[in-house]
Structure 1
Amino acid sequence: MSGHSKWATIKHKKGAADKKRGKLFAKLIKQVEVAARQGGGDLDANPTLRTMYQKARDSSVPLDTIERAVKRGTGELEGVAYESVTYEGYAPHGVALYVETLTDNRNRTASEIRTILTKNGGSLAEPGSVAWQFERKGIVSFANPIDEESVMEATLEVGAEDLVKEGESWRLTCSPSDLPVLREALEKAQISFESADVT
């Protein structure tokens, strides 16, 4: 408890905000590291790394921290080796689950996911049993209002598949490999967007 002291209150609020920010930074750095390991450290040749790099920069991760993560991913620096692992399962009532993880220990992660699923009435499934029901897509989200014509004109030739209005916002879909090029086309056309991510 911070009591009546103004500075103690500030200390507690800042501590909570710093903890949240630290978790976000750690998650983004792991994603950069895995992208560099899978496709190399060249931003021009690795669109996944370019997307993760930009996502980390947008979240104010320091540049030297991102560069160290790329070097760890390419093997230039020593560090914990994270790998991307997917698990498939069923939730209660047969709902299909496709879980993507970043882990330094496959066995521990598999055990934790199995425990979570069984405690909640689900089960872990064999690889390939539910993956066919899911499709990876690049998603760019826009705030309302946007000029639909100018967005489609800027993105149609570089891989945009669909532009849909969802409530108060717009969503543009594309293939994951086209996302970095699509993002560059939007920035070149000076069209602002809220987020660009692969799901």
Structure 2
Amino acid sequence: MSGHSKWSTIKRKKEKTDGARAKIFTKIGREISVAVKESGADPNNNSKLYDLIAKAKANNVPNDNIDRAIKKASSEGNKNDYVDMVYEGYGPCGVAVIVEALTDNKNRTAGDLRHYFDKFGGNLGQTGCVSFMFERKGIVVVENNKLSEDKVMEDCMEVGANDFHFEEDAVEISCEPNDLHIVNKGLIEKGYKVLSADAVMVPSTYTTIDDPDLQNKMSLLLDHLEDNDDVQQVFHNWEMPDEPDED
């Protein structure tokens, strides 16, 4: 399952972003702003906001930051208008890449992303050029603190999940995208520590890169995309090499 697990990608992101928590707060803050504007400030009546608050807490966003983001989005003077954008392209060796963004300036975001793709041996493509290689799924990742596989299976069936995958430190649970909120909330109410809950694009096939220089370029492309303030999520079908074991 090397390279196929969303949790391995999350761990990679967390390792790279633990020193830049402000950037994580900014990205989640944008999502909260959009969710509040769309469906109101009450998480009990706004499933997207409920999930985002859980996501913020899983990323150690302080409660004060969450409350401020909700209040700011609710205020009449809030003029931030973010637009959902999806960009598709190719990295080195034809690796398929999908970028989901929230932006208040589409020209700026498109220009930035095109620059990253060009700089690191890829190219930004047209809408639909790679998305046919992916399937949208809801993925909930929970902490594996000595969980019973039988109990997880039972609970997953009760909350409406489709499947689960055990790893040493986490369990990755999949569901239909429209069921993500129900599954996420159900697992939280059953006492699980949810590390992430997102609708993600899962590739149907994977691409390998054998050349170390091109591997480095692909890593740099992903780093630059993920570090961009407008970018919310990045999906790809790169069969990432295993990290070397530390002594």
Q: TM (normalized to structure 1)?
A: 0.76
The answer for the alignment partner of 2:176 in structure 1 is 175
1:97, 1:47 → 2: CA distance? 28
Asked whether the equivalents of residues 161 and 174 of structure 1 are also in contact (C-alpha less than 8 Å), the reply is: yes
- More helix per residue: 1 or 2? 1
Asked whether the equivalents of residues 160 and 183 of structure 2 are also in contact (C-alpha less than 8 Å), the reply is: yes
Asked whether the equivalents of residues 82 and 103 of structure 1 are also in contact (C-alpha less than 8 Å), the reply is: yes
Shift of 1:104: 1.8
Structure 1 moving runs of 4+ over 6 Å: none
Structure 1 residue 112 corresponds to structure 2 residue 112: yes
1:99, 1:188 → 2: CA distance? 32
Going from structure 1 to structure 2, the CA distance change for 1:27 and 1:39 (only over 3 Å counts) comes to same
Asked whether the equivalents of residues 164 and 171 of structure 1 are also in contact (C-alpha less than 8 Å), the reply is: yes
Asked whether the equivalents of residues 34 and 84 of structure 1 are also in contact (C-alpha less than 8 Å), the reply is: no
1:73-121: CA deviation from partner (whole Å, max 9, x where unpaired) = 4563424322221100111222111011122211011011111111222
Asked whether the equivalents of residues 117 and 123 of structure 2 are also in contact (C-alpha less than 8 Å), the reply is: yes
The answer for the alignment partner of 1:189 in structure 2 is 190
User: Unaligned regions of 5+ residues in structure 1, if any?
Assistant: 1-16
2:49, 2:71 → 1: CA distance? 12
Letter aligned with residue 152 of structure 1:
M
1:139, 1:126 → 2: CA distance? 30
Structure of greater Rg: 1
Asked whether the equivalents of residues 80 and 104 of structure 1 are also in contact (C-alpha less than 8 Å), the reply is: yes
User: Unaligned regions of 5+ residues in structure 2, if any?
Assistant: 1-16, 201-247
1:38, 1:128 → 2: CA distance? 26
Shift of 1:196: 2.6
Asked whether the equivalents of residues 158 and 178 of structure 1 are also in contact (C-alpha less than 8 Å), the reply is: no
The answer for the alignment partner of 2:141 in structure 1 is 140
Aligned length: 182
Percent sequence identity over aligned pairs: 36
1:195, 1:100 → 2: CA distance? 20
Q: How does 1:8-19 map to 2 (within 5 A)?
A: none
1:168, 1:63 → 2: CA distance? 26
Shift of 1:153: 1.9
1:64, 1:166 → 2: CA distance? 33
Shift of 1:31: 1.7
Asked whether the equivalents of residues 151 and 186 of structure 1 are also in contact (C-alpha less than 8 Å), the reply is: no
Shift of 1:136: 3.6
The answer for the alignment partner of 1:92 in structure 2 is 92
Q: Say which SS state the counterpart of residue 88 (structure 2) adopts.
A: strand
1:29, 1:176 → 2: CA distance? 22
Going from structure 1 to structure 2, the CA distance change for 1:177 and 1:50 (only over 3 Å counts) comes to farther
Q: How does 1:1-199 map to 2 (within 5 A)?
A: 20-73=20-73, 76-134=76-134, 135-190=136-191, 192-198=192-198, 199=200
Going from structure 1 to structure 2, the CA distance change for 1:85 and 1:104 (only over 3 Å counts) comes to same
1:50, 1:194 → 2: CA distance? 13
The answer for the alignment partner of 1:8 in structure 2 is none
1:117-163: CA deviation from partner (whole Å, max 9, x where unpaired) = 11222111111221222224222233252112222222313221111
Q: CA RMSD in A?
A: 2.7
Asked whether the equivalents of residues 137 and 173 of structure 1 are also in contact (C-alpha less than 8 Å), the reply is: yes
Bigger CA drift: 63-72 or 169-178?
A: 63-72
